[in-house]
Amino acid sequence: MELRVLWRWWREALVSLFRNGWLALSAIGMVLVSLLILGFVCLLALNAAHVSRMVEEGIEVSVFVGEELAPDLVSQLGKELGQIEGVAGVTFIPKEQALEKLREDLGGKSGLLTGLEEDNPLPDAFRLRPEDASLVPAIARQAEALPGVEKVRYGEGVVEKLLSLTNWVRVAAVGLVAIFGLAAVFLTMTTIRLSILSRQEEIGIMKLLGATNWFVRGPFILEGIIIGSVGAMLAASFLYWGYLSLVEQIERATFVFIQPVAGSEVAMPIFGSLLACGVLLGAVSSALSVHRFLTV
């Protein structure tokens, strides 16, 4: 493509945006609002997925060893547990450590435990970290079948509910993003289509004067890209700023068990994906809208 052609597209697009100032501003506003909402929903979904993952990562399987098992058989059992499919890691917790932990947990009432050091009633245990939370019930079942295993605990019942909840959250998040994504596409397309509709006659005249389709289309697409990217950058800036202050608020609050995704981690996705959305939306809606009027 010749440089001159590109230069004309830019000139045409900028002059037209400038002369149709209000129309351009309202189109930018429309892109801004729809991408703002979409971005907000995306962040919500991102955090829901993040929290779900954190919850799932906390799920472990505790395997309690039978009391009479000889020490070498205990380490043998540890190896066998590690070989169960879906087990990512095995940690051995000797009964002394378990008692220590219990004492810490009891705090002031730890006096209750005095004298238990010599005759520790707690069993040795292994803690299994699953590769994936959904594998937990299967791992537990296999561990239970191994010789020398006294008891297996993983929060039966609760884990299943938790898993179905986190799965549901993920599906809902994807669904919401899809719905709001479609809404953003629809809103932007309608706005840009309306602004081009008012210039249908101009397009027809240019074609009658012997303009090629690209001669007409080029500036319109560029105009759409400018509108889309300006709207997207504004939306991303607002969103980023808003998210940072929200994260700060949450982190300052005491209930730290809900950790939002860090602001620095969302910056690139927000700016990158919203800008890509804006540019693509602008270009595609312009191209589609112009297309209808090109057959003169």
Q: What does the binding site for other proteins look like in residue numbers (CB under 8 A)?
A: 4, 8, 16, 19-20, 199, 202, 205-212, 215, 296
CA dihedral 250, 251, 254, 259 (to 10 degrees): 80
Considering the complex, state which of residue 52 and residue 289 has its C-beta at the smaller distance from other proteins: 289
62: nearest Cα among 88, 95, 104, 90? 90
Smallest distance from other proteins to CB 217, Å: 13
Smallest distance from other proteins to CB 53, Å: 53
Smallest distance from other proteins to CB 28, Å: 19
Considering the complex, state which of residue 3 and residue 253 has its C-beta at the smaller distance from other proteins: 3
CA angle 171, 176, 181 (to 5 degrees): 130
Q: And the tokens for 61? A: 């399987």
Look-up of token digits 């052609």: 5
- C-alpha 249/C-alpha 258 separation (Å) is 12
Smallest distance from other proteins to CB 21, Å: 12
Smallest distance from other proteins to CB 197, Å: 14
Considering the complex, state which of residue 240 and residue 293 has its C-beta at the smaller distance from other proteins: 293
Considering the complex, state which of residue 2 and residue 118 has its C-beta at the smaller distance from other proteins: 2
Considering the complex, state which of residue 40 and residue 215 has its C-beta at the smaller distance from other proteins: 215
- C-alpha 122/C-alpha 116 separation (Å) is 10
Considering the complex, state which of residue 19 and residue 109 has its C-beta at the smaller distance from other proteins: 19
Q: Sign of the CA dihedral 10, 218, 216, 201?
A: negative
- C-alpha 289/C-alpha 60 separation (Å) is 55
Q: What single-letter DSSP state applies at residue 124?
A: P
Q: What single-letter DSSP state applies at residue 254?
A: S
Judged by DSSP in three states, 294 sits in: coil
The DSSP code sequence of 190-219 is: HHHHHHHHTTHHHHHHHHHTT--HHHHHHH
Smallest distance from other proteins to CB 292, Å: 15
